[in-house]
Structure 1
Amino acid sequence: MEKPIIEVEHLTFRYDKRVKTETLSDVSLCIHKGEWVAIVGQNGSGKSTLARMLVGLLTPESGTIRIDGKVLNEQTKWELRSRIGMVFQNPDNQFIGTSVQDDVAFSLENLNIPYHEMKSRVDYAIDLVGLSAFKAHDPSHLSGGQKQRVAIAGVLALNPDVLLLDEAFVMLDPRSRRELLQTLQELNKNQDITIISITHDMNEAASSDRVMMMKKGKIVNSGTPKEVFSNVQDLEPPFAEKLRRTLISRNINVPEHYMTEEEMVRWLWK
């Protein structure tokens, strides 16, 4: 098997070292290139803390993080941080430029990228997220889903190996969520971009290759969406699984196994 792009070994962290309770407790995981991993759990489970540690915003009390085989520490964090692009909940907090293309170019300008290369990267990133027709638009006037895609384009222009989404769907309406999810699926499939999504949105998690469930600073369950949503009953299921369970409760004969949304639609049309 290909070497993991991210390796986390025995990670421990406390915000307040005067208390015994750990925010992260002996967390270990591996993520491979091109994989989409969703990290789920209740507020306070440690998932956003883990995300911040992966990009070097927080330093572990103990344990090791490796990005493509290189240990993340004070000496390497600036180099390795460029390998992971992070998109936060509210894209409005990330906008700098007065147009979409200016905003996407901002980080490249700070890196003194030559103009022709920068223009090529900006055009490519904007095209990847489907916003070529909006290059000259003021990003603050776009819809929620479009704003989040601008934020993703700004990260993609830096050519990261990993796209890290920290509750990127939280502030979006249902239509914008569907559009953004489709964009991410295309990026993951066509560009082989590794995606880590920290999320409460179970429909987003259902689109991943693997779901990791966190509770009280530990990873307590890990597997495919089918495995996790079939076996963990106290985790809110995605829409299709919720519908399947509702139909069962009404004594309607439905398949006994977990179904994706596409599988559920096909079954309903039979």
Structure 2
Amino acid sequence: MGKPILEVEELTFKYDKRLEEETLSAVSFTVNKGEWLAIIGDNGSGKSTLAKLLVGLLEPQKGRICIAGTELTDDSKWEVRRHIGLVFQNPDNQFIGTTVQDDVAFGLENVNMSYEEMVPRVNEALRMVEMSAFCEHDPSRLSGGQKQRVAIAGILALKPSIIVLDESLVMLDPKSRRELLSTLNQLKHKESLTIISITHDMNEAAVSDRIMMMKSGRVLKSGPPAQIFIEEQQLEPPFVERLKRELENKGKEVPKAYTTEEEMVKWLCKSCLMV
């Protein structure tokens, strides 16, 4: 991992200043360059509010946010937004263009990028999310998974250092979700992209480098998936852990340590060969 690209210190926010209860209370954490942080928690824990604060859509009452060495303020927010992009849950809310390539180009037009520079940027972003073949398609006629890929391409074209996914995969079918998670993981490694995913899906959280649990506007715990899923038994485990527990209940010997999907596939293949 690289050095911190995101630093959050004592972040505090509430929607109604007349109320005593805070939506976020003294939230502090850092994220390293090239790290994937999954933020989990019940509804009302402050996850989506935190996402909006990170991209400057809301302004905190207290605390500071520093992105790529620049503190997020009212004066600096447009410059800081070049380093961070937010993908919402429903991609239809982000579509502007009449074709896929027009939609991906929209953000670049807003920063007055020249046509000569814009074309390769759009083509590269669509290639990254494997949507080049759909560049002339109407985005409204795409599948859910394809729409979300286009929404992500629109952010990637701006070449941010950080991409924030706010429940962005929740509407996708399992196959599309797995494919998009794999694509994002490849981008993380190839482009040193920093990913912050806000999610209720434990399979999505399981592919991250670190999970941060939130409750009632505070950070409850932070650690690698192996630690979180072992220590927090009340969480719905990802598919691999559920499979292990089912096999164990049937009297099968299974790996004792936390197991990733790749490790589980290797173990199952080895077990089959030994039968």
Aligned equivalent of 2:59: 59
> What is the distance in 2 between the residues matched to 1:196 and 1:47?
11
* Structural mapping, 1:105-144, within 5 Å: 105-144=105-144
Tell me the equivalent position of 1:30: 30
Q: Within the alignment, does 1:83 sit opposite 2:94 as a pair? A: no
- Residues 104 and 154 of structure 2 are in contact (CA less than 8 Å); yes or no, is this contact kept in structure 1? yes
Structure 2 match to 1:235: 235
Distance 1:109 1:24 in 2: 34
Q: CA RMSD for the aligned pairs?
A: 1.2
Q: Distance in 1 between matches of 2:34 and 2:2?
A: 11
Q: State the partner residue of 2:98.
A: 98
CA distance in 1, matches of 2:20, 2:210: 31
Deviates more, 1:205-214 or 1:245-254: 245-254
The structural deviation recorded for 1:160 is 0.7
Measure the CA separation in 1 of the matches of 2:76 and 2:111: 17
- Residue 167 of structure 2 is matched in structure 1 by 167
Partner of 2:189: 189
The residue aligned with 2:258 is: 258
Q: Distance in 1 between matches of 2:22 and 2:252?
A: 45
Amino acid in structure 2 at the alignment position of 1:159: K
How far the C-alpha of 1:2 sits from its partner, in A, is 4.4
TM-score if structure 1 supplies the norm length? 0.97
What's the counterpart of residue 73 of structure 1?
73
Range moving further from structure 2, 183-192 or 259-268: 259-268
Distance 1:255 1:132, change over 3 A: same
Q: CA deviation at 1:93?
A: 1.0
Q: How many residues align?
A: 270
In the alignment, the residues of structure 2 paired with residue 109 and residue 71 of structure 1 have an alpha-carbon distance, to the nearest angstrom, of: 25
What amino acid is the match of 1:80? V
Letter in 2 for 1:253: E
In structure 2, the partner of 1:150 is 150
Deviation of the 1:228 alpha carbon: 0.8
**1:18, distance to aligned residue in structure 2 (A):** 2.1
- The letter of the residue matching 1:250 is K
- Once the two structures are superposed, residues 40-93 of structure 1 have per-residue CA deviations (whole angstroms, 9 ceiling, x without a partner) of 111111111111110011111111111122211111111111210110000011
SS of 1:6's equivalent in the other structure is: strand
Question: Which amino acid in 1 is paired with 2:237?
Answer: P
State the alpha-carbon separation in 1 of the partners of residues 111 and 20 from structure 2.
42
Letter of the structure 2 residue corresponding to residue 31 of structure 1: V
Separation (CA, whole Å) in 1 of partners of 2:20 and 2:248:
44
**Counterparts of 1:268 and 1:259 in 2: how far apart (Å)?**
12
Check the 8 A contact 2:68/2:83 in 1, yes or no.
Answer: no
SS in 1 for 2:256: coil
1:44 maps to: 44
Partner letter of residue 93 of structure 2? N
C-alpha distance in 2, partners of 1:254/1:180? 29
**Match for residue 209 of structure 1?**
209
Q: For 1:235, what is the secondary structure of its paired residue?
A: coil
Structure 1's consecutive aligned runs of 4 or more residues displaced over 4 angstroms after TM superposition are none
* TM-score, length-scaled by structure 2: 0.95
Query: Could you report, residue by residue, the CA deviation over 1:134-184 in whole angstroms, capped at 9, with x for unpaired residues?
Result: 111111111111110100111111111111100011111111111111110
Q: Give the distance between the partners of 1:82 and 1:111, measured in 2 at CA.
A: 9
Alignment partners' CA distance in 2, 1:68 and 1:203: 29
Mapped partners of 1:214, 1:250: distance in 2: 34
For structure 2, the residue ranges without an aligned partner over 5 or more in a row are none
The residue identity in structure 1 corresponding to 2:252 is I
- Per-residue CA deviation, residues 93-144 of structure 1 (Å, 9 max, x unaligned), is 1111111111111111222211110001001111111111111111111111
- Provide the identity percentage: 63
CA deviation after TM superposition for structure 1 residue 222, in Å: 0.7
Amino acid at match of 1:69: G
